[in-house]
Amino acid sequence: MQSRRHRMRQRQRWDSAQAWIRSGAAVTVKHYAKRYGVDKYTAYDDLTALGVALPDSARQWAQRPPTTPCRTGGRATLPVHDEWWIVLDGRSFFVAGYTSGGAPYGTFADGMPPYDHPL
């Protein structure tokens, strides 16, 4: 069941739409969708519920396309150079530590000052 707030908005939209239809304006699915800020599938449903005769060309909005399922794969793991170095966005990243949420923090290798090795 829809929330009360949603039902009230729908009812107010329908009341306004009935007045708009009675005004003699050209009512189409596209105009309704733009005027009331809804998608064209909702506009088609609302107009048919209000008894507006729509042309056959509007039948394309009669049925929503099936939703595409979301990927259920886990988060991509980062390739590990060793314990302290990882590759992040294609750049070497020095891990100084981890946040409480598990995100690494540190600095990119190209942002570090050059190290002169005393040999």
Instruction: Share the mean pLDDT of the chain.
Output: 81
Examine the pLDDT at 80 and tell me if it is beyond 80: no
Total residue length of the chain: 119
Which of the pair, 119 or 49, is modelled with greater confidence? 49
pLDDT of residue 111: 77
Which of the pair, 110 or 62, is modelled with greater confidence? 62
pLDDT of residue 77: 57
Which of the pair, 24 or 83, is modelled with greater confidence? 24
The DSSP-derived string for 69-109 is: PPP---PPPPPBSSSSEEEETTEEEEEEEE-TTS-EEEEEG
pLDDT grade, residue 26 (50/70/90)? confident
pLDDT of residue 14: 87
